[in-house]
Structures are given as structure tokens and as C-alpha cells.
Amino acid sequence: MKTSNLKLSQDVEVTLEDIGSVIEEKPFYEYTAVEDGEKVEFSIFAVDESSQGTELAVKFPDGDTYSSGGIEYIGGSWVSPALTAGETYIFIAENMLDVEQVIGIHMESIYPA
């Protein structure tokens, strides 16, 4: 797993029910980031397609869930927009196959846009 800086904004809470049903009950990617020297672990879940496109949900240990928003396929990588209000992050992922059967996802980086 890679380690990266991650700023968390706790003012946005989204439940899985708000963004669609979970395709994989089990997280298909576990990620550990570093916030101010402390590790912050979170999981990424695949959720159903919606009118906004495919979405991912990010689940933190404190129970908060964040939606990545619609996913766009750009230059051979899956790119998602902001996770939280006030901060913009770009997820660059590989190996995400069709929505019905997600084989896996590898986060190359999370960084402020």
C-alpha cells in the first residue's frame, strides 16, 4: 500500500444508502494515508451506477462514508472528483472493470487538485 497525505473534512457525511446499493459487500481496496503524521485507514467500496455515472464510496473507521461522485475514464485511468466539501481530491485508479464485476482497484495517488 502506498502512503500519501490526506486532508479530511468532517463536515460532509454521506451514507451508502444515499449513493446506491453496494455491489461488493466487502471493501475491494484498503488504503492507509497519513494525516499530520498519524495514519488514517479507510476502505473503498463499489456502488451502483446512477444517472451521474459509476460511484465509489469511501468508508472511514469512525463510520462516516463519503461518495467520490461520478467516475470518468481519462487517459487510461479512472478519475473521480471531490470527496469532501471545501477540498478537491483526484483518485487515479487502475484495474477497475465493468460495474457488475469489479476485480479490483489500485489507487496510484490521492492529492489536492
pLDDT in tens, the chain (113 residues): 333 333 333 333 333 333 344 434 444 344 444 444 444 444 555 444 443 444 455 554 455 544 444 333 333 333 333 333 333 333 333 333 322 222 223 233 333 33
Tell me whether residue 52 is in a domain: yes
State the cell numbers at 49. 451506477
Tell me whether residue 9 is in a domain: no
Tell me whether residue 4 is in a domain: no
Tell me whether residue 2 is in a domain: no
Is pTM beyond 0.85? Reply is no
Confidence (pLDDT) at 57 = 53
Number of domains in the chain: 1
CA quadruple 101, 106, 108, 112: dihedral sign: positive
**Do residues 7 and 35 make contact, with C-beta atoms less than 8 angstroms apart?**
yes
Confidence (pLDDT) at 81 = 35
- Domain that includes residue 29, residue range: 16-112
Tell me whether residue 47 is in a domain: yes
